[in-house]
Amino acid sequence: MIVSIILLSGFVVVVVLQHFKMKLSYAMLITSCYIGALLGLKPRDFLISIRNVITTVSILKILGIIVLIMSMAVILRESGSLDKLILSATSLIKYPRVLLILIPAVIGMLPMPGGAMFSAPIVEKASSKYGVTREKQMIVNYWFRHIMEFSWPLYVSLIMESALLGVKLNRIISYQVIFTVVALILGIIFILIPVKIDKPSTEMDTSVMKSSKALYLFLKSLWPIIAVITLTLVFKTDLFWTLLAIDIFAILYYKRPISDMLEGFKLDTILLIISVFFFKNILESSGALNRVPLELETLHLPPYFILFLIPFLGGLLMGVTQASVGMSFPILMPIITSYHSLLPTAAFVLVSGVVGVLFSPAHFCLNLTKDYFNVSLSRVYGYLWKPLGLVLLFSFGMMMIS
């Protein structure tokens, strides 16, 4: 259990450093060095890990995608497009809480690294007029952005699950859509209903706007996001080049200065992303991810506990659902195929991984939006543990009765 204890202590180090207001990027770098040193890595190994991070094309591409998402948010804000979007949306949808669900949930249909940053400025703008605190804005955006992760067919984790199980994707989605529904209901109960909604703080008479005009204004204001979703999902274009092209076109369309686009290039954000990948590289180069399952096997734990713990730790440590699925499903396949029914057991493994990811300081959506809304990690966890625990418990119950 030595490696497992070291990794869990590393998670504690991140939380403690965050409690003392250290930037997450620095906390992740310190924790990476702490874990690497305890696992026997030498200074040369750390340098190799840094080199791997800053020279790997796929990592640089993800960095570019996140920067371009943040640039698009700036362009939409500075052009006044967000104001028009909220004006039209509040005319079409009379219930503020429904609006706060739909914005992140719809954007959540487009899987992308750091995707919660896509919806963050829209949720911020839509909820500020109702007196919603930034803390509540953050958790509403974060939760409803991820409810699609259990059943939306474009998520890589579900495609991997289908391939590893040898089960058609539509069967998996048909079974797992119930978890999206449960997550939606729990989010409404534990996150949305407690949000205090004041009367609009600004005078906006949206009642005089015709529905057809409001719909036109809504779609016109949302065109950059619609374009990204259409091009990447329908025409299968590369997300990085799609975002770059749309950002440039938006600059020209809205007649904005190039500084709007450059505002997305923030050193803190870039360092944060690099620190997350450095952390993952340290875990891989130390062999920690391979050693944890072996340690757990020697404890002779109940099968259902192993089905939870391995994907949960994978998600917690790596912050990416497909990484958790890729690590845990091959290891757990003998248990999955022999323990209860196949789909409920596989779903429990996936849900355990998603729960770990949503708690993970290495998860881009968490660390980027936490900083965007200026909310502490401990406060976020305070909101998450009940609904996430109940989603997990529901999944466990479905497995046990199958």
pLDDT digits (tens, 9 = 90+) for 265-303: 878 778 878 887 888 888 888 888 777 777 777 777 888
Structure tokens at 60: 């640089």
Mean pLDDT, the chain, integer: 85
Question: 294-335: per-residue pLDDT in tens?
Answer: 777 777 788 889 899 888 988 888 788 887 887 788 778 878
- CA-angle at 25, arms to 361 and 150, nearest 5°: 30
Residue among 388, 352, 369 at smallest CA distance from 190: 388
The pTM of the whole model exceeds 0.85: no
Question: In this model, does residue 12 exceed pLDDT 90?
Answer: no
Helix (H) or strand (E) holding 160: helix 156-165
Q: Supply the pLDDT for residue 203.
A: 45
Residue 276 CA to residue 28 CA, distance in Å, equals 7
Residue 133 CB partners (closer than 8 Å, separation 6+): none
Q: Supply the pLDDT for residue 387.
A: 97
Q: How confident is the model at residue 201 (pLDDT cuts 50, 70, 90)?
A: low
Question: In this model, does residue 39 exceed pLDDT 80?
Answer: yes
Q: Supply the pLDDT for residue 256.
A: 92
Structure tokens at 114: 């750091």
Q: How confident is the model at residue 200 (pLDDT cuts 50, 70, 90)?
A: low
Q: Supply the pLDDT for residue 384.
A: 95
Q: Supply the pLDDT for residue 37.
A: 94
Residue 216 CB partners (closer than 8 Å, separation 6+): none
Question: What is the percent of the chain with per-residue pLDDT over 70, rounded to a whole number?
Answer: 95
Residue 170 CA to residue 234 CA, distance in Å, equals 18
Residue 315 CB partners (closer than 8 Å, separation 6+): 321, 323, 324, 352, 353, 354, 355, 356, 357, 358, 359, 360
Structure tokens at 359: 């708690």
Question: What is the percent of the chain with per-residue pLDDT over 90, rounded to a whole number?
Answer: 31
Question: 226-256: per-residue pLDDT in tens?
Answer: 898 888 878 888 888 999 999 999 999 999 9
3-state helix, strand, coil in the chain (%, to 5): 80, 0, 20
Structure tokens at 75: 């362009």
- Identify whether the C-beta of residue 318 lies closer than 8 Å to the C-beta of residue 280: yes
Distance set, CA 155 to CA 61, 115, 150 (Å): 18, 12, 9
Question: 343-381: per-residue pLDDT in tens?
Answer: 999 999 999 999 999 999 888 889 889 888 999 888 999
- Identify whether the C-beta of residue 143 lies closer than 8 Å to the C-beta of residue 381: no
214 versus 90: the higher-pLDDT residue is: 214
Residue 111 CA to residue 152 CA, distance in Å, equals 9
Residue 358 CA to residue 362 CA, distance in Å, equals 9
Question: In this model, does residue 205 exceed pLDDT 50?
Answer: no
Question: In this model, does residue 188 exceed pLDDT 60?
Answer: yes
- Identify whether the C-beta of residue 95 lies closer than 8 Å to the C-beta of residue 106: no
